[in-house]
Every structure is written in structure tokens, then in C-alpha cells.
């Protein structure tokens, strides 16, 4: 692999496995489309099965068998390579590509044990942390008492906070004395799955931190806000200790009530399924991960998706989850237009998340998050990713964190 996309050997094995699965999937798709064309009078759907009879069924079956055999051979050949002695760390470009793969296919990667699946970990100064007291003290020579956890969004990793040279975490460490810790996680898994894992991770972090923690602040972007809300709810239900230390929870462009792009994608998929010729293509829509389908309405809990097929059920079944009590919660939204009050500004928002969704507004009072006016802010002329690197956004975050949260003196 060229240095620009340098990957570790385990990732190469994961890529080989994914290539095999992709080839088999494409073979299934082509076979289903051929059956739909050859037998249009059946409505197509009854004929869209894998492993049909006759010569064509034999051909497609042979292709699948050969592909799987080659895949096993490639994995067997790569197995002795890793971990290689003195193996270089993956390049930032490869890590970015891996984050995208996890966003789109992360639930499948985790379910199949693919080495490409991203484990949830905290990072500091670009290095992963081991959550044991001695290891934390060695990795962070001057551990502070005010922790700041930053949580990225879909198809990203912790490096997103340094886009274009502006890192909100580094700035807050400089200006407010926070110790920034950056979360990396598999964004393709259900929000509730990541929320539970985050709750357990934070419980361990505070228990193992080298000195007593005075306060914990959490800064999130996009999907990261949903994961944080899910973690708070599940931690309180489990009686965990860390929520008592949480003082501020800040959301940047979080789709609290979903994103229209996922909603439109769902209806496009249903439209393809209605056509006997195009219905095999609907399988491509079903490739999108559980994390992506959770963004349709902003699912936070297992009850929101259990017992339903997210690719066929388009109803909003969310259980209302209020903001955590005793925490200063703030919502920052962007709008690509110059007028946030226009219909375009409300509907389109930052290009991915509408204003009402980012600000937690909902016509149903049970779902309305009711952020106080002084704890919301709208960035005019800002797209979704610009919330990560605009100085105005940083200044607003800093102002919020300077103000006293519950149980904390003002900075």
C-alpha cells in the first residue's frame, strides 16, 4: 500500500474480507436483476432469490464459491504478516478512510469480527489511553481536575477536531485549563450501543483518573450529541457515578430530531422496492449502517429500534428522553443562509441538520428539549463541518464553559 494510505497489517486482512463480501453482494445483485428482467410477469420480487436454478444459477453460484475460496486464501496468506515487527502507525488519510467505512458499514464490521471495526477509546495528544491510574499518570504528566471529553460525528474520528488548524479542545485547554480527551468510536453501530459503551468508559475513566475530578464537560458534534445523551440516560438508569460530575453538555449541529437526508434516503429505497426492475437496487440502500438509520429521527435507546426493520418501518417510535437534570446543556446550530428565520434557514439549516432539530425544538412537548434561550446560538452562514473550525463557534463554546455550571464556580 502506498505511504499516503499506509495501513497496518490487520487492516489489510479486514479489507480483503470486505472485498470478498462486496464481490459476493454484487453477484447477488446482478443475479436478482437478471431474474427480474427475465421474468417481469411475476412481479420480479418472487424471482429475486440467491442461487436460482438452471445454467445461470450454476454460473452465479460458481462465482460466489470461487470468490469465497480466494478470500480464504488471501486471509491465510496475510495472517503471518501481522502484527509486523516495527510496523508503522496508520497514516491520517487511511484513518480517515477507515472512519468512513465504519460510518457506512460499522455494524456489519463489528458483527463479523472484521479488524476494520473501530473500538471505542479515548485519546490524548494523539495517543490512545489505557484507563488505569498508573498508565494515565504516565500518559498525562499533569492531569487536571477539569476534564473535557470531545465526541465526533458520523464517519469521522477524533482528528476531526483539528480541521483547518483550529482545535476547540486545545483552545479550551489553553484558555480554561481543561484536560481534553478525544473519543474515537464506531459510528456505524446503533447510537444506543455506543451510548452504553460510552457510559461504561466514563465510569472507568473517573474511577481511574490520577486525582479527584472536580468537573466533567462534554463537547459533541453531530451524532456525537446523540451518543452523549444516550450515555447520560443509560448511566442514570444503571446508577453509575460519573453523571454527578457532569457540568456542561454542549451540542454542535446535533440532529436531536433526525436529519432529512436519512428520511429521504429511506423513502427513495421504498420507491425502488416498488418497481420489479429496480427493486434489486434497493439492496444497496439497505447497506447503510444502524448508526445512519438511527439518524432518521434521532434514536437514542434500544427500545427505539428493537423489533423493527429500519429499512421498512418509517415511523418515529422514539421514547422521549429529556436533557439530563443538573447539567448546563447548550445547543449551537448553523445555517448556510443569511437569514435563520426564513423557511430555507429552518428547513435546510447547516446543510445536513435543520435548525429545529439542532436546537431540539419539536411540536410534541414530550420531545421538545426546551433549551433556555441563553443556552442556544445560531451561526449564520455556517455549514455542518464549519462548526468545527470557526472562531465564532469557539468563542461561544468558551463563553458557555466559563459560566458556572451546576456545582461549579465560574472561571
- 30 is in which domain, residue-wise? 3-90
Residues 11, 133 share a domain:
no
Tell me whether residue 251 is in a domain: yes
pLDDT one-digit tens code per residue, 155-179: 999 999 998 889 999 999 999 999 9
CA distance 33 to 72: 28
Residues 360, 211 share a domain:
yes
Residues 380, 253 share a domain:
yes
Number of independent structural domains in the chain:
2
Residues 226, 174 share a domain:
yes
Residues 380, 252 share a domain:
yes
Residues 21, 135 share a domain:
no
pLDDT one-digit tens code per residue, 351-393: 999 999 999 999 999 999 999 999 999 999 999 999 999 999 9
Over the chain, what is the mean pLDDT? 80
Residues 364, 227 share a domain:
yes
Residues 142, 58 share a domain:
no
Tell me whether residue 80 is in a domain: yes
Which pLDDT value is given to residue 163? 81
- Measured from the Cβ of residue 21, the count of other Cβ atoms closer than 10 Å reads 17
Mapped onto helix, strand or coil, the DSSP state of residue 330 is strand
Which pLDDT value is given to residue 190? 97
Quick one: DSSP state of residue 241?
Answer: S
- Identify the CATH number of the domain in which residue 211 sits: 3.40.50.1820
Tell me whether residue 253 is in a domain: yes
Domain boundary among 73, 90, 107: 90
Residues 228, 183 share a domain:
yes
Question: Strands 328-335 and 376-380, how do they pair?
Answer: parallel
CA distance 362 to 365: 7
Residues 237, 160 share a domain:
yes
pLDDT one-digit tens code per residue, 179-233: 999 999 999 999 999 999 999 999 999 999 999 999 999 999 999 999 999 999 9
Percent of the chain exceeding pLDDT 90 equals 55
Residues 67, 152 share a domain:
no
Amino acid at each position: 500500500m502506498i505511504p499516503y494510505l499506509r495501513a497496518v497489517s490487520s487492516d489489510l486482512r479486514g479489507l480483503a474480507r470486505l472485498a470478498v463480501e462486496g464481490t459476493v453482494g454484487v453477484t447477488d445483485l446482478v443475479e436478482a436483476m437478471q431474474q427480474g428482467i427475465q421474468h417481469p410477469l411475476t412481479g420480479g420480487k418472487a424471482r429475486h432469490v440467491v442461487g436460482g436454478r438452471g445454467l445461470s444459477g450454476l454460473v452465479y453460484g460458481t462465482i460466489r464459491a470461487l470468490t469465497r475460496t480466494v478470500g480464504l486464501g488471501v486471509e491465510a496468506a496475510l495472517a503471518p504478516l501481522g502484527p509486523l515487527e516495527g510496523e508503522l502507525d496508520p497514516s491520517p488519510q487511511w484513518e480517515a478512510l477507515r472512519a468512513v467505512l465504519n460510518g457506512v458499514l460499522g455494524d456489519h464490521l463489528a458483527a463479523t469480527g472484521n479488524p476494520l471495526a473501530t473500538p471505542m477509546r479515548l485519546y490524548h495528544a494523539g495517543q490512545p489511553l489505557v484507563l488505569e491510574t498508573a498508565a494515565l499518570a504516565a500518559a498525562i504528566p499533569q492531569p487536571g481536575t477539569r476534564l473535557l471529553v470531545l465526541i465526533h460525528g458520523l464517519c469521522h474520528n477524533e482528528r476531526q477536531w483539528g480541521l483547518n488548524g483550529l482545535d476547540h479542545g486545545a483552545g479550551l485547554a489553553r484558555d480554561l485549563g481543561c484536560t481534553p480527551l478525544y473519543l474515537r468510536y464506531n459510528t456505524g453501530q446503533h447510537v444506543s450501543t455506543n451510548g452504553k459503551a460510552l457510559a461504561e468508559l466514563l465510569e472507568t475513566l473517573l474511577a481511574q483518573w490520577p486525582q479527584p475530578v472536580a468537573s466533567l464537560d462534554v463537547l459533541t458534534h453531530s451524532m456525537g450529541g446523540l451518543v452523549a445523551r444516550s450515555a447520560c440516560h443509560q448511566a442514570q438508569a444503571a446508577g453509575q457515578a460519573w453523571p454527578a460530575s457532569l457540568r456542561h453538555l454542549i451540542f454542535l449541529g446535533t440532529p436531536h430530531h433526525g436529519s432529512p437526508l436519512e428520511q429521504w434516503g429511506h423513502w427513495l429505497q421504498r420507491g425502488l422496492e416498488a418497481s420489479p426492475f429496480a427493486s434489486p437496487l434497493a439492496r444497496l440502500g439497505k447497506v447503510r449502517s444502524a448508526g445512519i438509520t438511527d439518524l432518521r429521527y434521532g434514536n437514542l435507546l434500544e427500545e427505539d429500534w428493537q423489533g423493527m426493520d429500519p429499512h421498512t418501518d418509517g415511523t418515529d417510535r422514539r421514547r422521549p428522553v429529556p436533557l439530563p437534570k443538573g447539567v448546563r446543556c447548550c445547543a449551537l446550530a448553523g445555517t448556510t443562509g443569511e437569514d435563520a428565520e426564513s423557511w430555507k434557514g429552518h428547513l435546510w439549516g447547516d446543510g445536513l441538520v435543520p435548525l429545529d432539530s439542532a436546537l431540539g425544538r419539536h411540536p410534541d412537548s414530550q420531545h421538545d428539549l426546551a433549551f433556555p434561550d441563553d443556552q442556544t446560538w445560531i451561526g449564520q452562514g455556517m455549514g455542518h463541518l464549519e462548526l468545527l473550525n470557526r472562531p465564532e463557534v469557539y468563542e461561544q463554546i468558551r463563553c458557555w464553559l466559563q459560566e458556572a455550571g451546576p456545582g461549579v464556580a465560574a472561571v
